[in-house]
Amino acid sequence: MTNPPEPIVELRGIAKHFGGVQALQGVDFRLFPGEVHALVGENGAGKSTLVKILAGIYRSDAGVVKVGGKVVELRSPTQAQALGIAVVYQEPMLFPDLDVAENVFMGRHPRDRFGRVDWKRMHREVDQLLTSLDVSLSSHTPVQGLSVAEQQLVEIAKALSLQARVLVLDEPTAALSSHEVEELFAIVKQLRERGVAVLFVSHRLDEVFKIADRLTVLRDGTHIITAPVSKINTEEIIKHMVGRELSNLFPKGEAEIGEVVLEVRHLTRPGVFADVSFQLRRGEILGFAGLVGAGRTEVARVLFGIDRAESGEIWLNGKKVHIRSPQHAMDNGIAYVPEDRHQQGLVMNFSIAANVTLPILQQVSRLGLLDPRREQKIAGEYSSQLHIRSEGVEQLVNALSGGNQQKVVLSKWLATNPSVLILDEPTRGIDVGAKAEVHHIISDLAARGLAIILISSELPEVLAMADQVIVLHEGRVTGTFTRSEATQERVMFAATGQER
Amino acid sequence: MTTTGQEVEPAKQRSRVGQARLPGQVSRVRELGLLIVLLFIVLIVGIQAPRFLSIDNFEQILLSVAILAIVAVGETLVVLTRNVDLSVGSMVGITAFVTAYFFKQLPGINLLLGILLGCALGLVLGMVNGLIVSFGRVPAIVATLGTLYVYRALVFIVAANTTTQVNASDVPAGYLALATTQIFGIPALILIAAVVAVIVGYFLHASQSGRQLYAVGSNPDAANMIGIRRDRLVFAVFAASGLLCGLAGVLWGARFATVDATDATGLELQVIAAVVVGGVNIFGGSGTILGAVLGAIVLGTLQNALNILNISQFWLQALYGAAIIVAVVLDAFITRWVQRTLLSRRKKA
Amino acid sequence: MKRHKSLLISWEALLVLLLLIGVVIGSVLSPYFLSGFNFYALTSNIMEIAIMALPMTLIIIAGEIDLSVASVLGLASVVLGLLWESGHPMWLAIGVALLVGLVAGGLNGLLVTKLALPSLVITIGALALYRGLAYVVLGDQAVSDFPSSFTNLGFGTIPGTEIPWSGLIFAILVVIFVAVLHFSRLGRQLYAMGNNKEAARFSGVNVSRVKLMLFMLSGVIAALAGVIFTARFSSARPDNALGFELAVVTVVLLGGVNIFGGRGSLLGVVLAIFIVAVLQDVLNLLNISGDIQSLAIGLLLVLSVLGPNLARRIQVVITHRRLAAGSSMQS
């Protein structure tokens, strides 16, 4: 080896903020052709922001981006693509009504000498591409029927046909079976041989060890370390990923833990989760840990009546219940704060008061008509209780910060007076200050006798807050720890399906 | 990681927002299905009334739907991009009237000029629609509902200031001959419709822009991401719809000879019926010209059958409505069945 | 967005302004414009559309649409006529007509909620189906032999005033609908559904059931409009109110209701109804035929959406220029 190879992508001093949240700060990063580079970090570490900057969707606030040795300003996805950067997202961006070949070539169909679309050549080239990747798909297959794994393969084929020099895979294995993951890795190895640089964003450390040459750890938007995979082990990686001062978060207060409020026995939804059992007590915080796609939200949805389990039992306060709908769940004292507060948690064009009272309209109306004073009173109570910073309860929620929006969602569900409160990633996308506040609130609620299920992909949060931790991996319970037993390493291992 | 032998698949992808879609292969099934329905009708009715099966009668059917088919071709282009054009009836009406009047006032004029005038008028009206929708960002349903009113009112204004009605005797025979001439024994009207369908159908199949129309309707965000100029394409399809309505208007005047300001009122309903029955997805992204044309033919055959069987024409409207509803319900069931089959096939693999 | 809210309020202010302009022009054109009789003529003509616009507003706010209303009106009308003609008592004929509306709406609702089909296409099909059934029921006949007690409902007025009975019905309905949409639980749920169906569902709203009820309501009200229409023209014909559905949707959109759902108010719709009525009256005074009047309506409709859009684009351009100027001054 004479000269060290030139990086194909080089980032220096990249920073990006959204509202009050600094997503990335002073990030340096280099990607070389022919390497598989893993980007690791917890939720909120800044991985997906980095990816979106590379993809041309976001523009960095500061710093330099170099592609192929030249400084560039990535202004649009089309431009990034033209520079040879291809990104495969978790949700593939394909055209469901068209076949594989057209999806690969949309916008640049091969043409014959008359200028007509050359279907034969298009299908032939795509078939060749797919065969060279050892993929058993036909170019004629309609994309709509493809599984997520197959759709990813189509995206990869598209990237190759675009002569991509960099392929970014954003959490590609989240929705794949282990067999499909093997297939994907075989292709990634091929790409490496072809000199393509692959950026592999993932939580899953076992996969990182299988496929990556080097890895980079991000934490809280900063670059922590970059090292060859062969020179680092799992414990060290985890330490780098989570190594923040736990005292940043509000430590859990003492709550009196009472009788069993909720008992779940062998709950099963085939293909989603299996044999989930646990007990939840009054005043207890039960942490549901695990990776994205482990099935935790799915369990919550069944508890809340949005989906139905095929087998298993749910017992509330000693009585067996069949929860038919969200309204039914609410009547039984179960409340669910969903993952996605934009899609599911809030009506963005509604005021704080209107959002807070949506599930309890009956309580704020007299003779069928809404009583605005009662609405405002209830909204105001929760607003001050949870310290929601706003211009008043009539302000529209889309004007609030993420943290305050989440507090509105919390208020809404607290107003239903539940005995069981399920929180799904309650501090996702919120800045550190608001996070602490939310944790304080959760702790308080437990102290007042609420039984809480805390679903979270952020280890420190789970460890700091939970009395009990249940870990799910691919739909099964792989670990149960009490507060004292739970350590970061143990939980991470169970979450990644490792056997010790 | 698997104890019971059945692999537990991790959380599946979010369900697609909006209506479920049919893969391309099923569209071809749809066209086949339409042919079968056609054959079915032909057989049943043919047994009852043999004169249904005459060449003359088939010609009648095709003649009756030729103009509708031309409009349906334009509507298909619009619907493919996830839009709708409700102003087609008014556009046909105004171009028919204006063209007929033009021929009445200038009897010596070149036939071709008159035809071009009608088409040009349609094109301009269509471009106005396109501007309002793509650059004005007004939802297509609102925009074309408005222009439906405006264009129709324009016909009345023109009629009020010129003549209430153009009769067959007012226009040159050459114009009327457009509708009656036969080339190689086939009425020109049918040939024109066929040529239009073939040209546009070919365009959709063989040109880059045609394929991009499907992309825009199938996943507008993804289309944006790869740099497809959605605004320009949407403008173009509305312009095309207008142009084809112009042509249809010219032919309408030739065929029906007596034209007044109310002609082609309500045509939009028949066009949407033809398009939906023909398997074009109202949410865009899939459907073919062949399907739309077949849809028009099926509906025309139904009408003809009612006539022949002496069933009152009053059943016709009801049948149109039932056909649309049945087509949509069927689509939904087929799509769900296909999705379930694909899902279970994958699970077994 | 606060900006949106203020935009909506100013939309209604704009409508009030338009209405006033219309009234002023009208009174300038004719000394009789402000007379009671003119008020009667102006309002009675539009009552059926006005009545149907009320449930239509709710449906559009909830994120759907019902294009079959005029056909249900026609169907109810012929059923009424048929029953009356064959000797049944009037109350029965009216009752069955209303029932027909309920069932028709129910069918629409089932197809949209249980089978999750797009309401735009389904109700276009229903538009043809119900109109067609009206033709099947009565053919090209018409029933016109109605008792004066009945027809009085259509073109009679409240004794001592010039307010048509239909106007009274409309007023009562407006009060009820305003109470429901703007002051009741159901109304809040409708706005929630139209804005974010998922979030509404996650908050315990039974979206399917509410939508089904809305369509059934729309059907019944359309049938009621059919009864009034029949009484007013003293004629039950299958082509009654042909094409009216477009006018109903236009009036609702003109009133500031967003076609995609989640936004709008009944105040705006009521104002829009009167604006259209006044507009028609003014144009009549100017001797402009009814067919050409729709030019104004169509223009209003397009401008009602285009106007705010363009205004917003211009605002953005101005802001950009100002920012650019600002930064260039700094650098």
**Alpha-carbon distances, residue C2 vs A112, A351, A486, C8 (angstroms):** 55, 10, 47, 10
Return residues 187-216 of B near C (CB < 8 Å). Answer: none
Contacts of C253 in chain B (CB under 8 A): 142, 145
Contacts of A91 in chain B (CB under 8 A): 13-14
* CA nearest to B278, candidates B299, B255, B306, B249: B299
Contacts of C130 in chain B (CB under 8 A): 321
C325, with CB counted inside 10 A (0-12, 13-18, 19+), is: exposed
Nearest-angstrom CA–CA distance, A223 and A234 = 18
The set of residues, in sequence order, having a beta carbon less than 8 Å from that of A415 and lying 6+ positions away, is: A356, A357, A359, A360, A363, A378, A382
Assess: ipTM above 0.85: no
Chains linked to A by 3 or more Cβ pairs within 8 Å: B, C
Residue B72 has pLDDT above 50, yes or no: yes
Nearest-angstrom CA–CA distance, B326 and A400 = 47
Size of interface A-B (CB pairs under 8 A): 129
Work out the percent of chain B whose per-residue pLDDT is above 70: 89
- The runs of H, that is alpha helices, within A17-118 are 47-54, 77-82, 100-105
DSSP A309: -
Nearest-neighbour CA in chain B from C91: distance (Å): 28
Query: Closest chain C residue to B274 measured between Cα atoms?
Result: C125
User: In angstroms, what is the C-alpha Rg of chain B?
Assistant: 22
DSSP B14: P
pLDDT tens digit at each of 500 positions of chain A:
456 678 888 888 888 887 767 888 888 989 999 999 999 887 667 888 889 889 888 888 888 898 888 888 888 888 888 899 999 887 778 999 899 999 999 988 998 888 899 999 999 999 998 888 878 888 888 888 787 788 888 998 898 888 889 999 988 876 676 677 888 898 899 889 988 999 999 877 778 888 999 999 988 888 888 888 888 887 778 778 766 544 445 566 777 888 999 999 999 998 889 999 999 999 999 999 887 678 899 999 999 999 888 999 999 998 999 999 999 999 999 999 998 888 888 999 999 999 999 999 988 888 888 999 999 999 999 999 888 888 888 999 988 877 888 899 999 999 999 999 999 988 876 766 677 788 888 998 999 889 999 998 777 788 889 999 999 988 889 889 998 888 878 887 887 776 54
Task: Report the number of secondary-structure helices (H) and strands (E) in chain A.
Answer: 16, 22
Contacts of B225 in chain A (CB under 8 A): 77-78, 93
Tokens at residue B309, please?
């069987």
Query: Closest chain A residue to B342 measured between Cα atoms?
Result: A145
Nearest-angstrom CA–CA distance, C8 and B249 = 41
Nearest-neighbour CA in chain A from B335: distance (Å): 11
Q: What is the DSSP string of B129-194?
A: HHIIIIIS---HHHHHHHHHHHHHHHHHHHHHHS-SEE-GGGS-HHHHHHHH-EETTEEHHHHHHH
Chains linked to B by 3 or more Cβ pairs within 8 Å: A, C
Task: Identify the pLDDT of residue C94.
Answer: 93
Task: Identify the pLDDT of residue B25.
Answer: 55
Residue A180 corresponds to which amino acid? E
Nearest-angstrom CA–CA distance, A167 and A80 = 11
| Mean per-residue pLDDT, B245-257 | 92
Range A9-246 has CATH code 3.40.50.150? no
Q: Encode pLDDT of C173-186 as tens digits.
A: 999 999 999 999 99
Q: Encode pLDDT of A382-437 as tens digits.
A: 999 888 888 888 999 988 877 888 899 999 999 999 999 999 988 876 766 677 78
Task: Identify the pLDDT of residue A432.
Answer: 64
Contacts of B312 in chain C (CB under 8 A): 136, 139
Nearest-neighbour CA in chain C from A360: distance (Å): 9
A69, with CB counted inside 10 A (0-12, 13-18, 19+), is: exposed
Pick out chain C residues at pLDDT < 70.
1-9, 324, 326-331
Largest CA distance in chain A: 85
Nearest by CB to residue B142, choosing from C124, C130, C301, is C301
CB spacing of B338 vs A145 below 8 angstroms: yes
Half-sphere exposure for B141 (CA within 13 Å, toward CB): 17
Nearest by CB to residue A98, choosing from B3, B10, B24, is B24
Residue A412 corresponds to which amino acid? K
DSSP B231: H
The per-residue pLDDT of chain C, averaged, comes to 87
Nearest by CB to residue C298, choosing from B149, B314, B324, is B149
Burial letters A354-383, b for 16+ CB under 10 A, else e? bbbbbbbbeebbeeeebeeeebbebbbebb
Q: What is the DSSP string of A223-244?
A: EEEEEEGGG--HHHHHHHHH-S
What CATH number corresponds to the domain at position B228?
Answer: 1.10.3470
Residue B291 has pLDDT above 90, yes or no: yes
DSSP A143: G
CB spacing of B8 vs A497 below 8 angstroms: no
| CATH fold for the domain made of A247-333+418-495 | Rossmann fold (3.40.50)
Nearest-angstrom CA–CA distance, B196 and B189 = 11
Secondary structure of C103-157 in the HEC alphabet? HHHHHHHHHHHCCCCCHHHHHHHHHHHHHHHHHHHHCCCCECCCCHHHHHHHHCE
- CA A374 vs. chain centroid, Å, equals 37
**To which H or E segment does residue A375 belong?**
helix A372-385
Residue with tokens 């459907």: B287
Size of interface B-C (CB pairs under 8 A): 149
Query: Closest chain B residue to A146 measured between Cα atoms?
Result: B342
* CA nearest to C105, candidates C135, C139, C64, C61: C64
User: What's the whole-model pTM score?
Assistant: 0.83
Q: How many domains does one find in chain B?
A: 1
CB B268 within 8 A of CB B248: no
Mode of pairing for the β-strands spanning A260-269 and A311-316: antiparallel
Query: Closest chain C residue to A328 measured between Cα atoms?
Result: C204
| Mean per-residue pLDDT, B187-216 | 94
Nearest-angstrom CA–CA distance, C328 and B125 = 43
- C259 CB within 8 Å of a chain B CB: yes
Tokens at residue B144, please?
């074309």
* CA nearest to C188, candidates C208, C212, C205, C172: C205
Task: Identify the pLDDT of residue B251.
Answer: 94
Torsion of CA A419, A425, A428, A431, to 10 degrees: 40
User: In angstroms, what is the C-alpha Rg of chain A?
Assistant: 25
CB A150 within 8 A of CB A130: no
Contacts of C124 in chain B (CB under 8 A): 269, 272-273, 324
Return residues 366-395 of A near C (CB < 8 Å). Answer: 368-370, 395
B340, with CB counted inside 10 A (0-12, 13-18, 19+), is: exposed
Nearest-angstrom CA–CA distance, A131 and B136 = 46
**In which band, very low, low, confident or very high, does the pLDDT at B247 lie, cut at 50, 70 and 90?**
very high
Tokens at residue C122, please?
């389904």
Task: Identify the pLDDT of residue A244.
Answer: 55
Phi, psi of C269 (to 5 degrees): -65, -45
Task: Identify the pLDDT of residue C317.
Answer: 82
The set of residues, in sequence order, having a beta carbon less than 8 Å from that of C291 and lying 6+ positions away, is: B152, B153, B156, B261
**In which band, very low, low, confident or very high, does the pLDDT at B1 lie, cut at 50, 70 and 90?**
very low
Nearest-neighbour CA in chain C from A120: distance (Å): 37
Nearest-angstrom CA–CA distance, A204 and A201 = 9
- B177 CB within 8 Å of a chain C CB: no
* CA nearest to B212, candidates C20, C158, A54, A95: A95
- Domain extents in chain A: 9-246, 247-333+418-495, 348-417
Tokens at residue A18, please?
């959204």
Residue B11 has pLDDT above 60, yes or no: no
Contacts of A359 in chain C (CB under 8 A): 203-204
Nearest-angstrom CA–CA distance, C80 and C72 = 12
Task: Identify the pLDDT of residue B293.
Answer: 95
Tokens at residue A76, please?
């649009």
| Mean per-residue pLDDT, B156-168 | 83
* CA nearest to A429, candidates A89, A45, A53, A62: A45
CB B217 within 8 A of CB B228: no
Contacts of C4 in chain A (CB under 8 A): 349
Own/partner pairs for C155-164, CB < 8 Å, 24+ apart? C155/C44, C155/C231, C155/C232, C157/C40, C161/C36, C162/C36, C162/C37, C162/C39, C162/C40, C163/C39, C163/C40, C163/C43, C164/C40, C164/C43, C164/C44, C164/C47
- A324 CB within 8 Å of a chain C CB: no
Domain that holds residue B152: 53-334
Domains plus CATH for chain C? 2-290 (1.10.3470)
- B16 CB within 8 Å of a chain C CB: no
DSSP A148: H
